[in-house]
Amino acid sequence: MSNPTQSPFGSKITTEDILDTLGFFDNWEERYKYIIDLGKQLPAMDEALKTSERLIAGCQSQVWIEPHQEGGKLYFEVASDAFIVSGLLAVVMAAYNNKTPSDVLAFDMENFFEQLDLLKHLSPTRGNGLRSMVQRIQSVAKGCVA
């Protein structure tokens, strides 16, 4: 992706949108399908950016995150080799993309995951990977406000 500011996550697709939409589904099979569909809306990451420096440790699948800062806001290029993990990245991007570093650090991701009822429906390794993604992004935000 040449311009990370074009991603719909964090602007057109928000945490509130995701919470509202997930509330319509009666079961987790439907919710998983929605999360996977969200992942399919992530802008494609340039293959050249899929390097070991951008790889997130602790994830069951391969996950790459490339941060950008523009106009005081953070933008992220993200990718995974697994459909469900791409969807989880999309959920995280709804919270963190197109936000100031202070907004990223102020957002209560654990509370958001609780509202989604998400972590209890993921394997422990997927949950750990999700937390690793969040920690990497928060670390980037801390570096911007330091």
Q: Which residues are catalytic?
A: 59
At 79, list the tokens.
């990718």
Report how far residue 134's alpha carbon sits from residue 113's, in angstroms, rounded to the nearest whole number: 11
Cα dist from 142 to 15, 39, 136, whole Å: 21, 26, 10
CA distance 64 to 50: 6
69 strand-pairing partners: 74
